[in-house]
């Protein structure tokens, strides 16, 4: 019986990956498609996507003992830092409009498989669509009649929260604000605000997945990110969304880096990502950094850059003196984002037999306060020999 179950599971993994059949495999792996909910009332408040379409989220109600618990994820998808990039997002990347994709595949931390996702499988789950190109921080009233681009990400966040509170979030027993990639920074930015919206909720914490992008001190490494961040602030008008406790002390550009604003966050925060994040490596070290790692052909110069960056990254993380407030799980595999595929126990990256899903769940439920950093000082390929 055990062998038959394992065989069926392996078969489903293979067939699902080829998209040949869906129903039985989706049930086996705990993934499923959820239709979008359009926030029609948001338009009157100016909370719209890049193309002016109303924002949306995908909502799956909780069940059983999880009916009073909520996880709200701010989705990622990079930034647009000039007009052309923002226009391209509307048509090419499906992250500038809600007029296209009707459903979203829920998996990973949203899986309904109680074995793969034992702590959160039956929670209320919300996936907030990312359609503003500015990490939920933009707030520009003026709309150019030629481009018709709207930069209203901060308003989208507020509109989504208002809708969710009315749907039952205000009565949550436990709640998580999570964000992956470009959704990571706004998760930190709005973490305390999210907590303030739920004054009667027992446990409110935030989870940042692969979104802790630091300001590298090496001039060559820092140049790429500074250029991106400067353009972002100007185009999206994001300065007003940044914490005044930070912008009153330094250039607003620097407040877009988590190490400069994290000390102002009072709500418990957990950071899960690679010390050699795929996108940060390609931006700050070498556009082909992932290739040399996967092919095992990195030069001494590249390895030196990897080690220097890792040292900077670890020093930028919140200190380990109070892991109850700041937990971390930092692996060394060169990858990006884990809340979907890599978050179920069967696919998770391990550090000394501990996975990020287990570490986060322990930390969230106050079972054990993990602060885990992999010891490898060079990136590990995603493929195995």
φ and ψ of 342, to 5 deg: -85, 5
Distance from C-alpha of 31 to C-alpha of 303, rounded to nearest angstrom? 38
Three-state DSSP string of 19-37:
CCCCHHHHHHHCCEEEEEE
51, 132, 209, 277: the catalytic one is: 277
Distance from C-alpha of 150 to C-alpha of 51, rounded to nearest angstrom? 6
Does residue 181 carry a catalytic annotation? yes
**Residue 219 in contact with residue 229, Cβ under 8 Å?**
no
111, 181, 332, 337: the catalytic one is: 181
The strand order across the sheet containing 56-60 reads 103-106, 32-38, 56-60, 124-128, 69-74, 174-180, 203-209, 269-274, 326-331, 371-373
Distance from C-alpha of 37 to C-alpha of 129, rounded to nearest angstrom? 10
210, 336, 355, 374: the catalytic one is: 336
Distance from C-alpha of 49 to C-alpha of 43, rounded to nearest angstrom? 9
Does residue 277 carry a catalytic annotation? yes
- CB proximity list for 357: less than 8 A, separation 6 or greater: 109, 117, 119, 343, 344, 345, 348
DSSP code, position 205: E
Residues with a known catalytic role: 181, 277, 336
């Amino acid at each position: 019986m055990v062998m038959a179950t394992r065989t069926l599971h392996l078969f489903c993994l293979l067939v699902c990956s080829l998209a040949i059949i869906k129903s039985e495999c989706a049930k086996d792996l705990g993934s499923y498609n959820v239709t979008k909910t359009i926030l029609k009332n948001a338009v009157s408040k100016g909370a719209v996507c890049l193309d002016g379409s109303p924002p949306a989220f995908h909502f799956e109600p909780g069940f059983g003992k999880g009916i009073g618990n909520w996880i709200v994820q701010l989705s990622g998808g990079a930034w647009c830092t000039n007009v052309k990039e923002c226009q391209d997002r509307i048509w090419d990347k499906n992250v500038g409009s809600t007029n296209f994709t009707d459903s979203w595949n829920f998996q990973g931390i949203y899986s309904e498989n109680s074995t793969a996702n034992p702590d959160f499988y039956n929670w209320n789950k919300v996936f907030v669509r990312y359609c503003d190109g500015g990490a939920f921080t933009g707030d520009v009233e003026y709309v150019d009649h030629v481009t018709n681009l709207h930069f209203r990400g901060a308003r989208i966040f507020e509109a989504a929260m208002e809708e969710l509170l009315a749907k039952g979030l205000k009565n949550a027993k436990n709640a998580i604000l999570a964000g992956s990639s470009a959704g990571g920074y706004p998760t930190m930015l709005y973490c305390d605000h999210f907590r303030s919206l739920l004054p009667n909720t027992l446990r409110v914490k935030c989870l940042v997945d692969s979104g802790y992008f630091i300001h590298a001190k090496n001039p060559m490494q820092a140049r790429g990110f500074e250029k991106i961040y400067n353009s972002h602030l100007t185009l999206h008008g994001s300065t007003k969304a940044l914490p005044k406790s930070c912008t009153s002390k330094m250039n607003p550009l620097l407040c877009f880096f988590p190490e400069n604003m994290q000390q102002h966050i009072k709500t418990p925060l957990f950071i899960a990502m690679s010390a050699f994040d795929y996108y940060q490596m390609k931006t700050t070290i070498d556009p082909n950094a992932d290739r040399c790692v996967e092919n095992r052909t990195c030069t001494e110069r590249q390895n030196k850059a990897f080690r220097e960056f890792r040292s900077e990254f670890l020093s930028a993380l919140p200190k380990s003196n109070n892991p109850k407030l700041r937990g971390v799980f930092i692996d060394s595999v060169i990858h990006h984002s884990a809340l979907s595929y890599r978050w179920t126990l069967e696919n998770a990256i391990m550090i000394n037999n501990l996975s990020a899903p287990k570490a986060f769940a322990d930390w969230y439920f106050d079972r054990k306060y993990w602060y885990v950093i992999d010891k490898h000082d060079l990136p590990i390929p995603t493929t195995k020999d």
